[in-house]
Amino acid sequence: MDEDQIRSRLRLIRSVVTRNLMRDYVPFPMDRKLASSWASPLKVPRGGDALIYTSYMYQMASVFKSYGRLLPKFGSLASSSIVQGLGARVIKPSDDEMKRASSVLSNAYSLIRASGVEVGYLYEEEPYSGALLLEMGFLDELKEYGKRLLSFFHDKGAKRLIVLDPHTLFTLTYLKREAGFDVSFEHYLDVIKGAKGGGSFVLHDSCVFSRLLDRYSSLRDFIREAGISLSENELVTGKATGTCCGGPLGSLDYELSEGMAKQRAEELKSVNPRVLVMCPICLSQLSPYADVKDLLEVIRHE
Amino acid sequence: MSDSWKSAIAKVVASNELAVEKILNEYPYVVELAERLRETKLRVIDDLQAYVDKAMKGVERSGGHAYMAKTKDDAKKIVTEIVREAPTREEGKRGREKKKTVVLAKSNVAYEIGLRDHLIKEGFEAWETDLGEFLVQLRKGWPVHLVLPSVDLTREEAGKLVHGIDKSVNEDSSIEQIVAAVRGFLFEKYLAADVGITGANAVSADTGSVVLVENEGNIRMDTVMPRTHVVVTGVEKVVPTLRDAMDEAIVQSAYAGLYPPTYVNVTTGPSSTADIESHRVSPATGPKEFHVVFIDDGRIAASRDENLKEALLCIKCGRCYFACPVYRELGRNWVGTGSPYNGPTGVVWNYLTNGDPWPAFLCTHSGGCKEVCPMKIDLPTIIRYVKSVGEKRLG
């Protein structure tokens, strides 16, 4: 591994991401209006004490990947305002990606509402969770951001967050333990009722959800109860044998990240050509190499 | 790494997983032993220096010699002096002037301190005797895995390497022919060896015994044939009793997918016999001298660091490597040649022994390492801590 390259990228990521987070509650410049546009047609209430919390993950997963590739080109540009400007002009999710994210988020909202939970949304004011900082090991910066994040949610009167992705869930779990984050949060799978789906898939476990948060078995219980058939192979989908899609490495070593994604996709396809995920990073990583659906594209309220 | 690496590691990953599952099903007591061993080793970590002191006294009581080496250089200096002073194969003759022959059993700690290359530079003849490590030595490389150091080599590549020491072997030779050629070559080295150097799977504090587990038989030869046996071991290998040390050997071999092991070697002091008039004399058949060099190299400091100490539970079974998608892609290139430790545990041990945090940043926290670890080490959390240390060094 090229240590100089790693160090140089880490410095750049840290300076850009932390500066943006502390100022604007997002890791890099993004079109927040576009990212929150999924909610307007549904007339999702703005704000409230219970909030659906996307943390921009479904909307921006592929952007996280491409931003990481672009950062080295800006390596010598220390000024984050220049990077900001470049970022806002050149990095956007494609229309197809935004359409897919909107469909997923809309379904999540419908499932939550159909389960009797009234939630609002912060639209373009929604803050990012800081997951990227946790992934990189920037723990002091994450704890500092966590305090700002907590104040932000308190100011908005938020008392309950319904989280849609494993990375945000894991980050809030970390902040609760290490930084006193005291707004209650839960994963949508623990909230929704009466979700039904169909089809036969091989499940690619989110590392974070199934292993780090130890939800391997309960996730399978939910999926099977929803009427979805899962193909399993102990060497591919076992709790200990399943492996990462490579997504978190995209900003540091894109080639390694893609190599891992291809390898994982091949393993999964050997079990079932249709792959099921429940994480926007996994969805973005594996989609170029397999027929992948997110759980939120497969289940509906019965 | 190349496609041949990916193909080789994919086979090994699958076979290790199936082997370990079969072992744990057939011998369920291994899981209980692992759980108990974890608790025992945690107690030792919390009072590591005291246990090491006790183990050193045990070695001395058994008629051996114990040393404490704080750094890699200290350890190399101690071992070099032992080898220099070691008696030659001519009885009673101390041969400082003679070019000594040293045979080495697979020891990650020996790699960690750079021992073999150092001994060769000091003018000694030094040969690895584990087949995988012997091949690593022939290719002038570094081990790829803790237990399977040459798992990336094909039969053809191994044949080409061994051709260098036996012209009857080449890339068309069968594996059996290659192994037979290496056995023949090494047998001469065993007979000529003045010093045998091994690591340790575990060292018992109560008796000062060194326990080693193997399948080839080379460790047995290294510990018995030469007149002097030297053990180099990290201090974290100390466990309270000989029973605990035997447990560690069982757990390590089971989770490495090689159970029951062919041989378990217990060495307590030099060889001796009391067969005549119950009068004990030393040596008998085995070595006359027994030395144990306990190496710190960052371990004692780690035992006092709440963020790192759990890493010292590692029994070096290597199972976490196989569960790691980054290792499967990068192989030896992940941690590189600064350390014999690789994969998830290696990322931590490289930091612990070399102060190098950078390979940690390529960890994606896939989490399989934690699932397969017999000691239930929370590697993802420790690696995240190592990342945070690295981040602070960015300035």
Instruction: For residue B273, give the DSSP letter.
Output: B
Nearest CA in chain A to B364: A248
- Backbone torsion region of residue B268, taken as left when φ is above 0, otherwise alpha when ψ lies between -120 and 50, otherwise beta: beta
> pLDDT value at position A65?
66
| pLDDT score of A84 more than 50 | no
Q: Compute the nearest-CA separation of A90 from chain B (Å).
A: 27
Average pLDDT of the residues in A94-107: 92
Q: Compute the nearest-CA separation of B356 from chain A (Å).
A: 10
> pLDDT value at position A71?
60
Please report, for residues A240, B71, B384, the alpha-carbon distance to residue B348 in angstroms, rounded to integers and kept in the order given.
20, 18, 10
pLDDT grade, residue B92 (50/70/90)? low
Residues in CB range of B354: below 8 A, 6 or more apart: B338, B339
> pLDDT value at position B95?
59
- Backbone torsion region of residue B24, taken as left when φ is above 0, otherwise alpha when ψ lies between -120 and 50, otherwise beta: alpha
Best residue in A4, A5, A6, A233 for a mutation probing chain B (most B CBs within 10 Å):
A6
Choose between B55 and A93: higher pLDDT: B55
pLDDT grade, residue B32 (50/70/90)? very high
> pLDDT value at position A77?
39
How many residue pairs bridge chain A and chain B with CB atoms within 8 Å of each other? 111
Q: Is A55 exposed, middle or buried (0-12, 13-18, 19+ CB in 10 A)?
A: buried
Render pLDDT for A150-161 as a digit per residue (tens, 0 to 9): 999 999 999 999
pLDDT grade, residue B97 (50/70/90)? low
Continuous H helices in chain B = 3-26, 29-45, 48-61, 72-85, 108-112, 115-121, 131-138, 155-163, 175-192, 218-224, 242-255, 299-303, 319-322, 325-330, 343-354, 368-372, 379-393
Average pLDDT of the residues in B22-28: 97
Closest CA to B106 of B72, B140, B74, B132: B132
Minimum-distance CB partner of B364 among A134, A235, A249: A249
> pLDDT value at position A68?
62
Instruction: For residue B165, give the DSSP letter.
Output: T
B238 forms beta bridges with B203
Instruction: State the Cα–Cα distance between residues B176 and B169, nearest whole angstrom.
Output: 11
Render pLDDT for B256-315 as a digit per residue (tens, 0 to 9): 999 999 999 999 999 999 999 999 999 999 999 999 999 999 999 999 999 999 999 999
Q: Compute the nearest-CA separation of A42 from chain B (Å).
A: 36
Instruction: State the Cα–Cα distance between residues A95 and A99, nearest whole angstrom.
Output: 6
Cβ atoms within 10 Å, residue A224: 11
- Whether residue A179 contacts residue A147, with contact meaning beta carbons closer than 8 Å, is answered with yes
Token couple for A156: 């908005």
Token couple for B205: 């504090």
- Whether residue A235 contacts residue B14, with contact meaning beta carbons closer than 8 Å, is answered with yes
Q: Compute the nearest-CA separation of A3 from chain B (Å).
A: 6
For chain A, positions 252-281, list CB contacts with chain B under 8 A.
252-253, 256, 259-260, 263-264
CB contact under 8 A, B368 and A137: no
C-alpha B47 chain-centroid distance: 23
Instruction: For residue B331, give the DSSP letter.
Output: G
For chain B, what is the mean pLDDT?
95
Render pLDDT for A47-78 as a digit per residue (tens, 0 to 9): 999 999 999 999 988 777 666 666 655 433 33
> pLDDT value at position A66?
60
Token couple for B353: 């022994």
Average pLDDT of the residues in B62-84: 97
Q: Packing angle between helix A139-155 and helix A3-24, nearest 10 degrees? A: 20
Token couple for A299: 């289940």
Q: Measure the CA dihedral B215/B216/B219/B222, to 10°.
A: 170
Strands B228-234 and B101-104: unpaired
Residues in CB range of A287: below 8 A, 6 or more apart: none
**Which residues in chain A are contacts of B395 at CB distance < 8 A?**
11
Give the burial string for B71-91 (b: 16+ CB within 10 Å, else e): ebebbbebbbebbbebbbbee
The SS3 call for residue A182 is coil
> pLDDT value at position A85?
47
> pLDDT value at position A83?
43
- Whether residue B253 contacts residue B213, with contact meaning beta carbons closer than 8 Å, is answered with yes
> pLDDT value at position A74?
45
Please report, for residues A85, A157, B351, B392, the alpha-carbon distance to residue A248 in angstroms, rounded to integers and kept in the order given.
24, 32, 21, 20
| pLDDT score of B341 more than 70 | yes
CB contact under 8 A, B361 and A137: yes
Render pLDDT for A164-220 as a digit per residue (tens, 0 to 9): 999 999 999 999 999 999 999 999 999 999 999 999 999 999 999 999 999 999 999
A208 interfaces chain B, CB cutoff of 8 Å: yes
ipTM confidence: 0.92
A207 interfaces chain B, CB cutoff of 8 Å: yes
Instruction: State the Cα–Cα distance between residues B135 and B149, nearest whole angstrom.
Output: 9
The vertex-B97 CA angle with B96 and B103, nearest 5°, equals 70
| pLDDT score of A297 more than 70 | yes
Q: Is the dihedral of CA B250, B252, B253, B255 positive or negative?
A: positive
B14 interfaces chain A, CB cutoff of 8 Å: yes
Average pLDDT of the residues in A98-112: 96
pLDDT grade, residue A79 (50/70/90)? very low
Q: Compute the nearest-CA separation of B266 from chain A (Å).
A: 33
Best residue in B350, B365, B379 for a mutation probing chain A (most A CBs within 10 Å):
B365
| pLDDT score of A33 more than 80 | yes
Q: Compute the nearest-CA separation of B283 from chain A (Å).
A: 49
pTM attached to this predicted model:
0.94
Minimum-distance CB partner of B384 among A137, A211, A238: A137
CB contact under 8 A, A138 and B365: no
Nearest CA in chain A to B321: A241
Render pLDDT for A113-127 as a digit per residue (tens, 0 to 9): 999 999 999 999 999
> pLDDT value at position B285?
92
Residues in CB range of A259: below 8 A, 6 or more apart: A246, B329
A234 interfaces chain B, CB cutoff of 8 Å: yes
Q: Is A244 exposed, middle or buried (0-12, 13-18, 19+ CB in 10 A)?
A: buried
> pLDDT value at position A82?
39
